[in-house]
Structure 1
Amino acid sequence: MTQTPDVGRRSLLRGAGGIVLGGGLVVAGASAAHAATSQNGWPASSSPSAIGITGLTVSGHTFPAGVRGGQVHTVLGYVARRFHSEVEALANPGCWGYNYRVISGSTSFSNHASGTAIDCNAPRHPLGASGTFSSAQVSRIRSILSYCNGVVRWGGDYSGRKDEMHFEINVRPGDSRIAPLVAKIGGSTPPPTTTWSTVKSGATGFRVTAIQHLLRARGQSLTVDGVFGAVTVSKVKAFQTSRGLLADGVVGPKTWAALIITVKSGSSGQAVVAAQKALTARGYTLTADGIFGATTASKAKAFQASRGLLADGIVGSATWAKLTI
C-alpha cells in the first residue's frame, strides 16, 4: 500500500506520552478526537490498555511502553529480532514503541500512537539523517522488508525527511497480507534467522533438563538431573539410532527436530513438563505439573509474543527452537 510520506513527522525526543513540539517542549495529555486513528489507519488511544499495548523485549532490550499486541506484536517483534541479529545489535536507551502523540507539525496521529511502530537505536540513526547504515546493513534491512511482503515500511524509504531508526506497519487493519505473514513467522518451521542450540556431554542447565524430559517422552529411561553425563549421552545415541541419525550423542539441529513433540492445550506428559520448565527458565514461571492447561497456554503465548512468533499457545518447532536457543 502506498502511503503519503511521513514528512515532518517528529523530533528525536521520545516520551511516555504527549505531543512533541518545536524546541523540545512536551505537551502531556494532548487531546484527540474520538475514534482516532494513526497515519496508517490503526486505532490510536491515550489508554494503552484500550488498544492492547503489550511489552516487547528482544534479546534483553526493552522497547518502552511496548507495542500493539496480537499480529502487530508478532510482526514488529520479528522485525526487531532480525534487526538485532542481522543489521545491528540493539542498544538501550534508544529503542522505542508506543507513544500517544501526533506527528510533529501535523494534526495526524503518529503510528506510535496506535502501537504499530518501533524505533531501533535512535541515537545512532537520528531523525532527518540519511546514510546512517552501511550498504551491507541496508541490504539486510531490504531482506527483512522483502520477507514482510509490504506489511512493514522503513523510515529510510520516506521520500521526504528520512527516519532510518523507524519501522512501521504499512497496511490497514484486516489487510489480506497480515495473516499469511504472521503464519509464516510462526509456522511449523522456524523463521530463517532461528537456529537450534547444540548441547552435548558436559553441559548443564534447563536445556539438558528439557532434553532429558523429551527423551523420557520418546521412551528412553533416565533420571532428569540437568547434567549431560554418560547416561544422557548413551540415551541420546540410542534415540538417534532409532531415527536414522548420526549417533554421536550430540543434540544439534537434526536431533532437536526429531526429539521435540508439539504440545498444546489438553496435552500432558513429559514433553509438557519439558516445555513448562523451559518457559520457567525463560522467565515465564509456572508449575511443571505435566498438564497443558490455561496457565501454561497463557505463559506460552506471552513467550511467543516476546519472541516475534505467532502467539497461539502451541509449542511447536518454532517455539521449541526459541525456548532452547
Structure 2
Amino acid sequence: MCELHEPTTPAVGRRTLIRGAGGLLLGGGLVATTATAAQAATSQNGWPAGSTSAIPVSGLSVGAATFPAGVRSGDVHTVLGYVARRFDNEVEALVKGWCWGHSYRVISGSTSLSNHSSGTAIDINAPRHPLGASGTFSSTQRSHIRSILSACDGVVRWGGDYSGRKDEMHFEINVRPGDARLAALARRIGGRGGAPTPTPIAWTTVRRGANGFRTTAIQHLLRQRGYSLTVDGSFGAITESRVISFQRSRGLVADGIVGPRTWTALVVTVQRGSQGQAVVAAQKLLTHRGYSLTADGVFGSMTATKTQAFQQSRGLTADGIVGPRTWAKLTA
C-alpha cells in the first residue's frame, strides 16, 4: 500500500486531526476508534473518512483484480471504476492481489489520514509500481495514463505527478465533497464505471491456399490446442480440416477460414514463464517482424524484451505480454 500523498488541488490541510471523545491520532499510525472520532475524521483531500461501517463503500472488481474493501459509493465509485477499467484496457492488465482500495489509516510519518481512508483512492498493480520509484511505466503507457487523466478533467490525480516522492501506483479523487465537477464527470462517463468500448481488433483473414508466416502461426496454435499436424507454412487440406474441427469445438461457423472470430478463439495469451507451441508461434512471428529470436518455446527475458520492443513500435501497451492485440499486429 502506498504511504505518502501530497496535498490535493485545491489545497487540503495536511494536519486534519480526529477529534472528540478522545479521538486522537496515536503514535505508530494507530487511530482511536470511537464513533465520534470516526464521524469527525476527514482524509487529506477533505472527504469524510472512517471504517467501512462508518462510510458508504462498495466493492470494486476490474478484470482479474478485486480492490479489497472497495471504494466510496456513488460518484467516486463511478469515477475510480472508470480509471481502473481504462487502465486495465489501455495501460496494462490488472493483476489479482496487486490492487488496493479503502484502508483506514494515517499516512506514514504524518498526522493526516490517507485518502484511502475515505475510499477516494486506489492503488493499481502496486508491486510493479512501488512507492518512491519513478519511470515504472513506458512512454506509451504514460501517454495512455495522460489520456485517462485528461478525460477526468482534473477530478483525478495521479501519484506519478507528485512533485516530491513519486507514487505511480496511486490514483485519487482531487476535489472536495460537493464539487460539481465530480458529479458532472460521473454523469458523462456513466453510472456503471464508464468502461470504454474497446477498439475492435483488426485480424487478417487466412484460408486454404495461403502460405507463409501467418499459416505457420496458425499451425503452431492448432498444435497448442491439441490438433496434430505438420508445421510447414502451407494452408492445405489437412490444416483446413483441423481448423474446421477447432471451429466446431468452439461453436463457430465451420468454414475452415481463420477470420476474426476464429483468431480470437485460437490465440493463447503468453507471457514470461509460458512454454509451448503458442510461444514458438510468437517467437517466429517476432523474428519475421525483425526481432530475431530462437524459437525454443520458452518465454524468457529475451522474448519479453523483443515483445516489448515490437509493441512499442506498433503503439501498443509495452507490457511484454502477447495477448489478442499483439497477436493481431504480429499476424497483420
TM-score, normalised to structure 2, is 0.50
Distance 1:133 1:6, change over 3 A: farther
User: What's the counterpart of residue 221 of structure 1?
Assistant: none
Counterpart Cα distance in 2 of 1:172 and 1:5: 9
Code of the residue aligned with 2:184 in structure 1: it is: P
User: What's the counterpart of residue 173 of structure 1?
Assistant: 177
- The percentage of counterpart residues that share the same residue type is 68
Distance 1:229 1:58, change over 3 A: closer
CA contact (8 A) 2:72 2:120 kept: yes
SS class of match (1:50): coil
Distance 1:30 1:139, change over 3 A: farther
Matches within 5 A, 1:236-251: none
Aligned equivalent of 2:42, options 9, 15, 37:
37
CA contact (8 A) 2:130 2:169 kept: yes
Distance 1:28 1:196, change over 3 A: farther
| Offset from partner CA, 1:154-193 (integer Å, 9 cap, x none) | 00001111100000000001111112111111189x7644
Superposition RMSD on alpha carbons, in Å? 3.3
- 1:49 deviates by 3.0
Distance 1:3 1:102, change over 3 A: farther
User: What's the counterpart of residue 113 of structure 1?
Assistant: 117
- 1:2 deviates by 2.0
Code of the residue aligned with 1:84 in structure 2: it is: D
Distance 1:229 1:164, change over 3 A: closer
Code of the residue aligned with 2:163 in structure 1: it is: S
SS class of match (2:140): helix
Unaligned runs of 5+ in 2: 1-7, 15-24, 202-250, 254-260, 262-332
| Offset from partner CA, 1:120-146 (integer Å, 9 cap, x none) | 000000001111111111110000000
CA contact (8 A) 1:63 1:95 kept: yes
Distance 1:133 1:195, change over 3 A: closer
Unaligned runs of 5+ in 1: 8-18, 198-227, 231-249, 251-325
Question: Do residues 54 (structure 1) and 55 (structure 2) align?
Answer: no
- 1:4 deviates by 5.3
CA contact (8 A) 1:103 1:109 kept: yes
Question: Do residues 122 (structure 1) and 151 (structure 2) align?
Answer: no
Matches within 5 A, 1:1-325: 2-3=9-10, 27=30, 32=37, 34-46=39-51, 48-186=52-190, 192-194=196-198
CA contact (8 A) 1:30 1:101 kept: no
User: What's the counterpart of residue 277 of structure 1?
Assistant: none
- 1:89 deviates by 0.6
- 1:35 deviates by 1.2
CA contact (8 A) 2:10 2:175 kept: no
Counterpart Cα distance in 2 of 1:57 and 1:103: 25
Counterpart Cα distance in 1 of 2:252 and 2:47: 53
How many residue pairs get aligned? The number is 187
SS class of match (2:100): coil
Code of the residue aligned with 1:78 in structure 2: it is: Y
Counterpart Cα distance in 1 of 2:186 and 2:106: 28
State the structure with more CA Rg. Answer: 2
SS class of match (2:40): coil
- 1:50 deviates by 2.4
CA contact (8 A) 1:6 1:160 kept: no
Counterpart Cα distance in 2 of 1:112 and 1:153: 13
| Offset from partner CA, 1:57-76 (integer Å, 9 cap, x none) | 01231001100111110000
Code of the residue aligned with 1:94 in structure 2: it is: W
SS class of match (1:49): coil
Counterpart Cα distance in 1 of 2:167 and 2:181: 24
TM-score, normalised to structure 1, is 0.51
| Offset from partner CA, 1:173-230 (integer Å, 9 cap, x none) | 1111112111111189x76444689xxxxxxxxxxxxxxxxxxxxxxxxxxxxxx999
Counterpart Cα distance in 2 of 1:26 and 1:45: 14
Distance 1:131 1:179, change over 3 A: same
Distance 1:45 1:122, change over 3 A: same
SS class of match (2:80): helix
SS class of match (1:161): coil
